[in-house]
Structure 1
């Protein structure tokens, strides 16, 4: 849900706000078994998830919406708990036991080894919010496919990359939105995750009775 005009759509749950920026006291520390890894100088519970350091943000939903940015905490929560990226409520349809999801070319990638699944960095969207999202989000007008998925699991992250600097400092390499598998233990040591990527399984077309507009498409 990026690039949405403020006058057209309520502020989606996952959108970052101006007053949610938090200090990032980054450093490199030596691991018990050798080698360096990126860390916070005052690392706390919740900073490291799935083995990767996560960017610190507040979760107060205060300040002007940053329409092209997602709040890392809320995006992560939507992905893990399958919450709607617009309203923040449970997205899974209990009647069918599946989760509705809008897939786009920019946020979904097929996997050769999984013909009915793939990777996505966009959270699900509940049935109630899909019509509003499709009608008002410019990005979804370019490419959008309404599907349902059976399940999703953490698979990778989008991250900024760092390298050790003088005095155990951390220097940004200039690399943004680098996709790193959670299995890539080497790269994860230098990564500051900004978004969680999940692998969705058993991707199917949205139910035919779901009301679509003229500009929407359904997976085939």
Structure 2
């Protein structure tokens, strides 16, 4: 079989007031993206002056990158023959489609339905990758680059080791950091801000399947083609350049 290729979501585009449709069910639907939001939440956003952005009161409490329990799907995995694979075989789904593969690796499937109970311990696979590739804020989905300095920012609940240069956590824009410190229990206790001029994809964090043992969670570089063929990726890892500590806003 030929190597499937994946497609990525487009970059963030601000959603303006006139682009939302009220269908009478208590939800507003964005005409271009299909995103929904509660009418009550949108009215509150109008009051605080954030209605022209996707960063509403709800988005502040629930970061864009976080997964919801309803988005979990069963993963019917299989090993298939592939003449393009180095070993002649690769990990796949029983019903594969082209978008399952991005960067030469199979990605975990999830629905895109941001409602219901939130799983704060898990990042949504597609939204995490989208934020990483397009330099989007993990909280509001807006551009994460500071226009004044040209640098990207992150906020952590503990100090990052000086030698650390690989991250799977998407950046957080400066506008969202103060709100994240208020709403996140971990950041309420301790917060550390770091910035970097840019990064580049390094690898994936995922489950590696082996015929000789149990599946293991590993960080796999994009250059390890043999291991990638049997990896189910769940997060994109980037190599960060010149990561520096900054004053916490």
The CA deviation string for residues 112-151 of structure 1, in whole angstroms up to 9 with x for no partner, is: xxxxx70011110011111122233233456642122111
User: Taking structure 1 as reference, are residues 104 and 181 closer, same or farther at Cα in structure 2, changes over 3 Å only?
Assistant: farther
Count of aligned residue pairs for this structure pair: 189
Pairing of 1:43-122 with structure 2 (within 5 A):
43-103=96-156, 111=163, 118-122=165-169
Write the distance in 1 (CA, Å) between the matches of 2:158 and 2:204.
Answer: 18
State TM-score, norm by structure 2. 0.67
Q: Does 1:157 align with 2:192?
A: no
SS, match of residue 123 in structure 1: coil
Alignment equivalent of 1:175, drawn from 202, 213, 216: 216
Contact kept in structure 2, 1:28 and 1:38, CA below 8 Å:
yes
Separation of aligned partners in 2, 1:143 and 1:201: 24
Higher relative contact order (CA 8 A, sep 6+): 1
Aligned equivalents of 2:72 and 2:162: distance in 1? 33
Q: Bigger shift: 178-187 or 69-78?
A: 178-187
Residue 184 (str. 1) matches residue 224 (str. 2): yes
TM-score, normalised by the number of residues in structure 1: 0.76
Q: CA 1:35 to 1:84, structure 2 compared with 1: closer, same or farther past 3 Å?
A: same
User: Counting helix residues as a fraction of each chain, which structure ranks higher?
Assistant: 2
Change in 2 beyond 3 A, CA 1:93/1:190? same
User: Which residues of structure 1 form unaligned runs of 5+?
Assistant: 1-6, 112-116, 166-171, 212-220
What 5-or-longer segments of structure 2 have no aligned partner?
Answer: 1-57
